[in-house]
Amino acid sequence: MNIAILVVLLTTGTLAAQPTPTSAPASHKALLSALVLPPRQCHSNSHKCRDVCEAANTLERDAVDLAMCAAKHDYADDCSAQASEVRDSADGYETAVSDADNDCD
């Protein structure tokens, strides 16, 4: 499942096993643990391709952190720190992909 779709589904409660507000965050955490694959091992002879892989792993991890923050339904936490991390890691991923110039599989 695409991580962006997973983030949307988890933050909207679509995948919540139990829809009650008190149990939704726990079910979201369990779903994230079950559905998000471990980071990809970045094996490549090209440092540019390793950079793309590492940037993708960072972006995925930061997106999960943002989803977890939103899933807590802590209305005093605007998740701005996690959102900032996602923006930064997305910029890093975009740069890494651009620098690789389509040389990676």
Q: How far is CA 7 from CA 4, 41, 48, in A?
A: 5, 22, 27
Q: According to the model, what pLDDT value does residue 103 have?
A: 85
> What would the two tokens of residue 78 be?
């605007």
pLDDT tens, position by position, 43-90: 888 899 999 999 999 999 999 999 999 999 999 999 999 999 999 999
Distances (CA, A) of 98 to 7, 46, 74, 95, 101: 25, 14, 37, 5, 5
**The total number of structural domains that make up the chain:** 1
- Domain assignment of residue 89, yes or no: yes
Q: Tell me if 54 is assigned to some domain.
A: yes
Residue 38 belongs to some domain of the structure: yes
Mean of pLDDT over the chain:
77
pTM (two decimals): 0.65
Structural domain contains residue 105 = no
How many residues are listed for the chain in this entry? 105
Q: What is the pLDDT of residue 28?
A: 60
Q: What residues make up the domain containing 93?
A: 3-100
In a domain, 10, yes or no: yes
